[in-house]
Amino acid sequence: MKLFGKRMAAAMLAALLCVSLLGVSASAATLVAVDLADTVDKAAPSVVEVFTETKRVSPFYQEYVTEGAGSGVVLTADGYIVTNHHVIDGASAVRVRLSGGDTCAATLIGTDSKTDLAVLKIEAADLVPAKLSDSSKARVGDFVIAIGNPLGELGGTVTEGIISARDREISIDGQAMTLLQTSAAVNPGNSGGGLFDLNGELVGVVNSKSAGSDIEGLAFAIPSNTVQEITRELIRYGYVTGRPQLGITVTEVSRPAIGWQTYFDKPGVYIAQVTEENGLKAGDRLIQIDGTNIGGSEDIPAVLDRHSVGDTVKVTVSRGGRETSVSVRLTEKKAA
């Protein structure tokens, strides 16, 4: 009898637990379904489609135009919009399609390759701006939705997931970035779109996806706190203040080029242009900056991030086959 009683008690407990779990799951599913629909209603009007045209020159010196697409998020009711730097980089014309279907020409206000953010402006009124959340309070496991323009032709698409990681240090095009990681589905064209929490508040701006035949559910977004800080600077100044620069543009050479051996005699990072008087010369091959070896162009911002405008750094270059060092005072990088 005691054994039977114990078995009965265990069975009853399991049954109650099963009912309890089913009840919680049903309630949670209902809650998510209701909240998700409400979230989309709140967030979707602030997400726009971005279309670009870029003029290029063929090897035969004939000019042609390429088209691109991405997404954006409305920041203000009078038409300021945030998107990714890489979405509009090099574009000669930009158009924005609002959630209601109207299309407007857009003006580039400012862009920042370091954070992959850019601000556009359209002539409009009474737009629905996104409300930015405090991304420092985002937690791993928080439910989020991504709204954007995947494939450049499916504007307003909504996908769901969670925040998979915070403060994820990754490198995109040689630029180190600290991003939110999400499992929400992201595809080409989603770049610049919004990642929202269940309150319909912007947690981040989508900017990349890890691609590969065996990779899914691995996307990244620029945290909303970074978005707020950078877009404020871009709107006010057209660039991000306080960023140091050497005053040069560079090019990478993977192997000596025939006909250019005088300048590009070895693989490396070469100065293509000097924009300020600093003792460096076009054709110099960078060897070290501030004691750090320069093996690729991505090594330069990594060094500059440790300094401020006005600092002096030692730059070692190869010039005419001989090494020479130059002391360079860092200046403020302004709008291109």
**Per-position DSSP letters for 37-82, written without gaps between them:** HHHHHHHGGGEEEEEEEEEEE-TTS-EEEEEEEEEEEE-STTSEEE
CA 46 – CA 48 distance, rounded (Å): 7
| pLDDT tens per residue, range 144-190 | 999 999 888 888 899 999 999 999 988 777 678 899 999 999 988 89
Q: Is 116 a catalytic residue?
A: yes
Q: Is the pLDDT of residue 84 over 90?
A: yes
pLDDT at position 35, please? 64
Among candidate residues 46, 99, 191, 224, the one labeled active-site is 191
- Look at 214 and 147; give whichever has higher pLDDT: 147
Position 295: which residue type?
G
CA 71 – CA 221 distance, rounded (Å): 13
**For the domain with range 244-332, which CATH number is right: 3.30.1050.10, 3.40.50.800, 3.90.1150.10, 2.30.42.10?**
2.30.42.10
pLDDT at position 216, please? 61
Structure tokens at 110: 């400012």
What rounded mean pLDDT belongs to the chain?
84
Instruction: Single out the residue of 143, 184, 137 nearest to residue 35, CA to CA.
Output: 143
CA 288 – CA 327 distance, rounded (Å): 12
DSSP code of residue 153? T
B/e letters for 52-66, b = 16+ CB within 10 Å, e = fewer, are bebeeeeeeeeeeee
pLDDT at position 22, please? 40
Q: Is 86 a catalytic residue?
A: yes
Q: Is the pLDDT of residue 231 over 60?
A: yes
Query: Topology of 135-228 in CATH?
Result: Thrombin, subunit H (2.40.10)
CA 72 – CA 127 distance, rounded (Å): 13
Q: Is 210 a catalytic residue?
A: no
Structure tokens at 162: 């969670």
Say if pTM beats, i.e. exceeds, 0.95: no
Among candidate residues 116, 133, 183, 208, the one labeled active-site is 116
Structure tokens at 143: 């439910």
Q: Is the pLDDT of residue 7 over 60?
A: no
Among candidate residues 46, 71, 86, 284, the one labeled active-site is 86
CA distances from 146 to 156, 158, 178, 257, 306 (A): 10, 6, 19, 45, 34
Q: Is the pLDDT of residue 288 over 80?
A: yes
Which superfamily, per CATH, for 45-121?
Trypsin-like serine proteases (2.40.10.10)
